[in-house]
């Protein structure tokens, strides 16, 4: 039994010998036998991603690396001075250094050459109305009455919901259970408007930001893409400025929220001192599938209504009221691999009904993307001691059959927000990353209370940490999201102040 469990979580390379015919005759042939579940992170480490991580680190610290060199040159020149020359030219030297210091400060401030940090001023999550709450039993009852599913499909959904980790207070629009329901643009726009505007209204009320002060707008939604776009809906609703830098990200799945943060960070560098508004959502009435293909029924069981609005800025005056500073962001894309590319995709079944297909390989595909992402992230966040043990294990790897040392990521972060996909996925990630129950609490509580809200899920989790008064000044928060493509994205935030208990939505309903 132990052996079979180990194989279940590991890929296996099989030597098939030498091709006997065809264009590759005489060439060695290999195949990969894969097993469902996350891959064993201890079995292999791709040095390509380790090098990439250190490349990020070197680029980020490029200017600081020059400081020791300048000090060395300066000390060398001072060493050439004799005492007689030194005391004669002392005042001239000091005056020159002071002048150069003030000149450098003047140029940096007046020409705005100092690097600007990106701050998370605040964020808000949408809390749907109580009439949209749905229990697991009510879901199954309505699904049966809808006439959309046969007995086999209903039994499958019942089994999935039982082990999903989703509770009895998630939110789902009842229109999807209407007999003969088909995707309707009017219904989709109404759901998108309710979710997006609910989150943005809460954010504007909390921060006091004037809509005309927002320079950058990024909206991401996976399945629903309308004309005019969802970002245009937000512009029209809040009468944003005509020079707004507007972007609409579609089809990028659950990892799109961090992709939007990355884009906003780049745009803020181009428009220093500005405000960027990010709106992340998913329209459940457009992800719903009313057929009997089992691989297309999983999103029905997990996806629930939700949205988040996030306000970012690199205005230095905003630091005093901001909550977090963006420290690192690493994005990994495995779309070059066919299995990864096809693991989650929108398709039509034989009857022409559209839905999201989730392949049986998605757990392992996600595991490989996660392994590549955290291997790249490691050099940026891990303490030196952990990196030393890791490299020591790599050096001895060729002469030692033991598995490489996997760093303890708990030493790099005080809090972790992993996308609340499913209980099984969270269990596997906790096991492979060796995280405690406390680290997983925000993700599990969010999954139970709100279900999988797609790209906005990581913000519901951060809101949970704030509601429980867990965020202290200096704490590091790791947001981790995976999505179709296949993508794995990480964002690391540092709390610039202790966040007092947040008695507001979504964790406080009244």
Each residue's pLDDT tens digit, 142-199:
999 999 999 999 999 999 999 999 999 999 999 999 999 999 999 999 999 999 999 9
DSSP string, 227-277: SS-HHHHHHHHHT--TT-EEEEEES-GGGHHHHHHHHHHHHHHHSTT-EEE
Please check whether residue 324 is in contact with residue 493, taking contact to mean a CB–CB distance below 8 angstroms.
yes
314, 415, 432, 489: the active-site residue: 415
**Over pLDDT 90: what percentage of the chain?**
65
Instruction: Give residue 5's pLDDT band: very low, low, confident or very high (50, 70, 90).
Output: very low
Mean pLDDT for the stretch of residues 317-332: 94
| pLDDT for the residue numbered 504 | 77
Encode pLDDT of 206-236 as tens digits: 999 999 999 999 999 999 999 999 999 999 9
pLDDT at 2 over 50: no
Taking the C-alpha atoms of residue 175 and residue 184, their distance in angstroms, rounded to an integer, is 10
Instruction: Give residue 448's pLDDT band: very low, low, confident or very high (50, 70, 90).
Output: very high
Q: Is 220 a catalytic residue?
A: no
| pLDDT for the residue numbered 389 | 77
Query: Among 1-5, 305-309, 384-388, which is the least confidently predicted range?
Result: 1-5
Taking the C-alpha atoms of residue 443 and residue 451, their distance in angstroms, rounded to an integer, is 10
| pLDDT for the residue numbered 8 | 38
| pLDDT for the residue numbered 185 | 94
125, 221, 254, 488: the active-site residue: 254
Query: Average pLDDT, whole number, for the chain?
Result: 84
Taking the C-alpha atoms of residue 63 and residue 68, their distance in angstroms, rounded to an integer, is 10
328, 452, 488, 489: the active-site residue: 452
Please check whether residue 215 is in contact with residue 246, taking contact to mean a CB–CB distance below 8 angstroms.
no
What pTM value is reported for the model? 0.82
Encode pLDDT of 337-347 as tens digits: 999 999 999 99
DSSP string, 157-179: HHHHHHTS---S-EE--GGGGST
Higher pLDDT, 116 or 403: 116
pLDDT at 92 over 90: no
The CA–CA distances, whole Å, from 14 to 29, 30, 33, 264 equal: 9, 6, 7, 44
Instruction: Give residue 53's pLDDT band: very low, low, confident or very high (50, 70, 90).
Output: low
| pLDDT for the residue numbered 12 | 46
The CA–CA distances, whole Å, from 84 to 57, 59, 431, 471 equal: 45, 43, 69, 58
pLDDT at 7 over 60: no
Mean pLDDT for the stretch of residues 247-253: 95
Q: Is 452 a catalytic residue?
A: yes
| pLDDT for the residue numbered 4 | 38
pLDDT at 18 over 90: no
| pLDDT for the residue numbered 87 | 54
Q: Cα angle at 36 between 35 and 39, to 5 degrees?
A: 75
pLDDT at 459 over 50: yes
Please check whether residue 33 is in contact with residue 11, taking contact to mean a CB–CB distance below 8 angstroms.
yes
Query: Among 115-119, 266-270, 445-449, 492-496, which is the least confidently predicted range?
Result: 115-119
Taking the C-alpha atoms of residue 272 and residue 197, their distance in angstroms, rounded to an integer, is 26
Give 450's Cβ-side CA count (13 Å radius). 33
| pLDDT for the residue numbered 450 | 97
300, 333, 373, 489: the active-site residue: 333
| pLDDT for the residue numbered 508 | 83
Mean pLDDT for the stretch of residues 454-469: 96
pLDDT at 89 over 90: no
| pLDDT for the residue numbered 135 | 97
Higher pLDDT, 501 or 106: 501
pLDDT at 35 over 80: no
Taking the C-alpha atoms of residue 494 and residue 70, their distance in angstroms, rounded to an integer, is 30
| pLDDT for the residue numbered 68 | 52
Encode pLDDT of 421-439 as tens digits: 999 999 999 998 899 999 9
Q: Nearest Cα to 220, choosing from 167, 280, 172?
A: 280
Strand partners, 220: 249, 280
Instruction: Give residue 10's pLDDT band: very low, low, confident or very high (50, 70, 90).
Output: very low
CB-neighbour burial class of residue 4 (10 A; exposed 0-12, middle 13-18, buried 19+): exposed
Instruction: Give residue 56's pLDDT band: very low, low, confident or very high (50, 70, 90).
Output: low
Q: Is 242 a catalytic residue?
A: no
Q: Is 35 a catalytic residue?
A: no
């Amino acid at each position: 039994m132990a052996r079979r469990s180990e194989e279940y979580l590991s890929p296996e390379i099989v030597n098939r010998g030498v091709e006997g015919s065809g264009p590759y005759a005489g060439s060695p042939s290999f195949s990969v036998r894969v097993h469902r579940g996350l891959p064993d992170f201890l079995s292999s480490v791709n040095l390509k991603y380790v090098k990439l991580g250190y490349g990020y680190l070197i680029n980020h610290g490029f200017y600081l690396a020059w400081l020791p060199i300048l000090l060395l040159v300066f000390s060398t020149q001072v060493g050439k001075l004799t005492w007689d020359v030194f005391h004669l030219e002392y005042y001239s030297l000091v005056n020159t250094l002071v002048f150069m210091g003030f000149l450098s400060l003047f140029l940096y401030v007046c020409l705005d050459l100092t690097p600007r940090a990106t701050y998370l001023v605040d964020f808000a999550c949408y809390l749907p109305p109580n009439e949209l709450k749905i229990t697991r039993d009510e879901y199954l009852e309505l699904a049966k009455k809808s006439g959309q599913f046969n007995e086999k499909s209903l039994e499958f959904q019942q089994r999935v919901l039982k082990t999903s980790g989703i509770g009895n207070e998630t939110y789902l629009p009842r229109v999807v259970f209407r007999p003969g329901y088909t995707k309707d643009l009017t219904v989709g726009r109404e759901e998108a408007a309710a979710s997006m505007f609910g989150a943005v209204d809460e954010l504007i009320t909390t921060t006091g930001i004037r809509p005309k002060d927002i320079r950058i707008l990024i909206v991401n939604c996976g399945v629903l893409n309308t004309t005019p776009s969802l970002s245009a809906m937000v512009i029209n609703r809040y009468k944003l400025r005509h020079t707004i830098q507007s972007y609409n990200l579609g089809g990028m799945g659950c990892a799109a929220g961090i992709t939007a943060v990355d884009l906003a960070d780049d745009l803020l560098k181009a428009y220093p001192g500005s405000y960027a508004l990010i709106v992340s959502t998913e329209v459940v009435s457009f992800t719903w599938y009313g057929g009997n293909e089992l691989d297309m029924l999983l999103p029905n069981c997990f996806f629930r209504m939700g949205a988040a609005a996030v306000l970012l800025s690199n205005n230095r005056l905003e630091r005093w009221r901001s909550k977090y500073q963006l420290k690192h962001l690493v994005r990994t894309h495995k779309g070059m691999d066919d299995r990864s590319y096809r693991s989650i995709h929108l398709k039509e079944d034989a009857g022409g009904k559209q839905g999201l297909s989730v392949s049986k390989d998605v757990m392992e595909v996600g595991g490989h993307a996660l392994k590549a992402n955290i291997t790249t992230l490691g050099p940026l966040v891990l303490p030196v001691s952990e990196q030393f043990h890791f490299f020591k294990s790599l050096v001895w790897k060729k002469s030692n059959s033991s598995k490489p040392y996997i760093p303890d990521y708990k030493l790099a972060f005080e809090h972790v927000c992993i996308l609340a996909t499913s209980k099984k996925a969270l269990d596997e990630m906790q096991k492979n990353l060796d995280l405690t129950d406390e680290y997983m609490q925000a993700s599990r509580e969010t999954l139970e209370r709100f279900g999988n809200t797609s790209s906005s899920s990581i913000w519901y989790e951060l809101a949970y940490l704030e509601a429980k008064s867990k965020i202290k000044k200096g704490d590091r928060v790791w947001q981790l999201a995976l999505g179709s493509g296949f993508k794995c994205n990480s964002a690391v935030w540092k709390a610039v102040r202790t966040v007092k208990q947040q008695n507001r939505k979504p964790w406080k309903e009244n």
